[in-house]
Structure 1
Amino acid sequence: MLNYKQLYYFWNVARHGSITRAAERLHLTPQTISGQLAELERSLGADLFRRVGRRLDLTSAGKLALSHADEIFQIGNELEQSLRSGSAGGDLLFRVGIADAVPKSIAHRLLAPALDLPERVCLVCHEEKLDRLFGELAIHKLDLVIADRQLPSELGVRGYSHALGQSAVAFFGVPALAARYRPAFPASLDGAPMLLPGDRAAVQAPVARWLHDNRIHPQIVGKFDDTALMKAFGKAGAGVFPAPAILEEELRTQYGTEPIGLARDVVVRFYAISVERRLTHPAVVALRNAAQESMFGEAPAADGR
């Protein structure tokens, strides 16, 4: 019979890339984990790792074992959370990480359908840098990460990027700036005071490329990792700024800004990133369906790894 403690040790070694790091995480000695891995390999009749220099690489059998271990411990985590939430009054716990580059208003609109489910949902949101969120997702501390980019393969985190939708990017400004720069857009933006997203935003590079391709050299007033802060400066008239075109109504009513023109070649995309290839969490399914059917329309591309 499979020893699940040994499988858990194997799972941690595979995820953390070494016996030493797994031992530190589990508060065990490396010798204990090495011994348990050897026992697991003997019971399975297959080598799960091969040593390449100082690195441990999974064998084909190890990759198969890791795939099943991911599913086993995900199911165990879901069982634990279901029992805990049941003892707390029946609320469905929904833990979401939100990349700091995702506009808060879009995050709110994406998450709102989860609160309309028949069962009560307890929503727990964390805003953080993407690499930290992906780490939390990998150890099942989060059910979902909402991001403006897909899960990078080089991080070594096992997960799946589910496309929610996309929006073209437009430039906005207070009425005086909009009236000044709307004529002859986009050439009129050359020399204009401009607020731009910071380097952590996936849209930063496409916007910079668009400006270069159109030979636009703005006066860059500031760069912002926090899009809400960028829009606050835009509201004060500090400069024009790019934002998803789907936020036009919000930017008019809350920030007093108007669209100047559409950068048709610049698109911002949003993803729900989970450890599940097939989404099963009711809140995640509700979020994905609402985004594709009403908020963005049909998703632009098939889900990707």
Structure 2
Amino acid sequence: MKNFALIGAAGYIAPRHLRAIKDTNNTLLAALDKFDSVGVMDSYFPNANFFVEFERFDRHIEKLKRNGTHLDYVSICTPNYLHDAHIRMALRSGADAICEKPLVLNPWNVDALADIERESGKKIHTILQLRLHPSIIALKKKMDAEKRNTKYEVDLTYITSRGKWYDISWKGDESKSGGIATNIGIHFFDMLSWIFGAVQENIVHVREKDRAAGYLEFEKARVRWFLSIDENALPNFIKEKGQRTFRSINIDNVELEFSDGFTDLHTKSYQEILKGNGFGLNDSSTSIQIVHDIRNQEKVNVGEKHAFIL
């Protein structure tokens, strides 16, 4: 049984981490969040110590260490811009870090964390759950096996409606979230680079608070992508069903079906980490570079565009 601490216990994604810790037969010693709406912990670890101040949490972790209780992992579910600092805290505490994506916001932060990883002897893991999805794994095997002289034609569309709260929260602040391409798109960009190889071209056509679109060319694919949190961008047939989310990956005019199979991917991620097969800094670096470049380059009106912005 491994000992865990968790930072960001009141966040949206925290219950998946709590479940993963429990489902892998480990224990949570302490949790931190500045918000105290963490009743969900009763379903998993009611006896874990909870803190609303980082200083007291940090002191508690230090006391555990001095009293001979070894902390094995710190799970990090905090806002994107805090990941870097919380990863450093985990490694300073003598624990490995398990951090939600994006691991960090900027490529140079990856290099700095690599130095700290070497100095501490501890590991930094991230959650790239699409790499563990059965349909995505099958797609990668198929792409790796096929030999062709032309690139795949891919259209990626992801619309997940968000209310007015989004702009008020940290997610609506690009300096904290990295913007929409980072916040809702980075796991798709990771998946695409994992399957189709190195990035050869990255063009941005739209970059607004509630939507972004562009063109990515990989070694094996030409990808037109569109991301949005605006319900008005939903196709009519989705609106007519009363649904608020639309996810589509079309490869050579064939739809990739991966709507199911998401419920236990965090648990699978933890299982792999505990076996020594987790995803680390090198696995994360390509998608971090992609979204950094999307965030910092000029928009253009040339090149192949996604159908939703034609």
TM-score in terms of structure 1 length: 0.31
Larger of the two Rg values belongs to structure: 1
TM-score in terms of structure 2 length: 0.31
